[in-house]
Amino acid sequence: MSRVSPDPTPSGTADEALLALELSDEPARKPSWQGTTPLQHHSFDAVPRDPFVEEEHQVQLPGSKGEHLLQRAYGSEKRARKFYDDQVLDHLNPQMKEFIGRMDMAFIATADARGECDSSLRAGTPGFIEVLDDRHVCYPEYRGNGVLASLGNISENPHIGILLVDFVTDLIGLHLNGKARIVEDADLRAIHPALPADFARGRTPERWVVVQVEEAYIHCRKHIPRMVPVLRQRSWSTDDGKRKGGDYFEAKGTPRPWHHAEPVWAG
């Protein structure tokens, strides 16, 4: 997103053609869930084989085996192949780099070794996600609640998904999928000395997540809401409970499965 001005009124909004698209939509279609589905007539091998991998040269298209199998089952192979061919890159092009450089928040998806998932928000000043080269980005990890859920997942399973969305100007998103590793701040600066050193209110990174980009592709604007940024004083490094949200969901005091009774000491 663009840096907000003291007067928090919409700025840099889309032209009339794009605004007209926001106000229009396709007519409702008849629901298609009645009756049987293609999957009920589609047999899978005991160990499913990716239907889009050519036997002779084993060229793998973007995406997972599961999505390829469902594309075949639901008859969307041609549309999916067009998307892969037209929109998906295995690196960052100049337009993607520029987009990343003006984003001030990102949604991060990780999973542990068992596949159990976590989704988290990361935010900072515009460009807080640094582009290192055509195939690598990094984002800072600051002192938080001490749980380290995302980093814990990455330590077990390097696969990561990042979604950046421009809700203000262009109404468009960028997906970055790849493999992540954790790098201490001093170690990364030794390799990339141009990393920013001037951080707001002493909010300095403890470490960084470096992501090797394997897939980069568009998230369409069709259902992205337009938002208006407002001026806000942020307390980045505070431990004040109220400023951090406190017990907003009233979870404190509720019994948990991991709560234990007082230990019984053997006499």
Q: What is the mean pLDDT of residues 125-154?
A: 94
Residue the block writes with tokens 């077990």: 156
**Where are any strands of DSSP class E within the chain?**
105-111, 117-123, 130-133, 136-141, 159-166, 172-184, 207-219
* Short-list 62, 202, 213, CA closest to 130: 213
Which pLDDT band, with edges at 50, 70 and 90, does 73 fall under? Answer: very high
Q: pLDDT tens, 3-30?
A: 444 444 444 556 666 666 655 555 545 4
Q: pLDDT tens, 85-127?
A: 999 999 999 999 999 999 999 999 999 999 999 999 999 889 9
Q: Which long-range contacts (CB under 8 A, 24 or more apart) does 126-132 make?
A: 126/1, 126/2, 126/3, 126/101, 126/102, 127/100, 127/101, 127/102, 127/103, 128/103, 128/104, 129/100, 129/103, 129/162, 129/164, 130/192, 130/195, 130/196, 131/92, 131/97, 131/100, 131/101, 132/192, 132/210
Higher pLDDT, 162 or 40: 162
Query: Most distant CA pair in the chain: distance in Å?
Result: 80
DSSP lists the bridge partners of residue 163 as 107, 175
**Distance, first Cα to last Cα, the chain:** 64
pLDDT for residue 247 = 82
pLDDT for residue 3 = 44
pLDDT for residue 16 = 65
Question: What rounded mean pLDDT belongs to the chain?
Answer: 82
C-alpha distance from residue 77 to each of 71, 83, 199 (Å): 5, 10, 47
> Which backbone phi and psi does 196 adopt, to 5 degrees?
-60, 145
User: Is the confidence at residue 267, as pLDDT, over 60?
Assistant: no
pTM of the model: 0.75
Ordered domains of the chain (ranges, CATH): 61-89 (no CATH), 94-222 (2.30.110.10)
pLDDT for residue 38 = 47
User: Is the confidence at residue 57, as pLDDT, over 60?
Assistant: no
Which pLDDT band, with edges at 50, 70 and 90, does 50 fall under? Answer: confident
Separation of alpha carbons 85 and 62, rounded Å: 9
Supply the DSSP symbol for 200. Answer: G
Q: pLDDT tens, 208-262?
A: 999 999 999 999 998 999 998 888 776 655 666 666 667 888 888 888 888 775 6
Separation of alpha carbons 54 and 76, rounded Å: 18
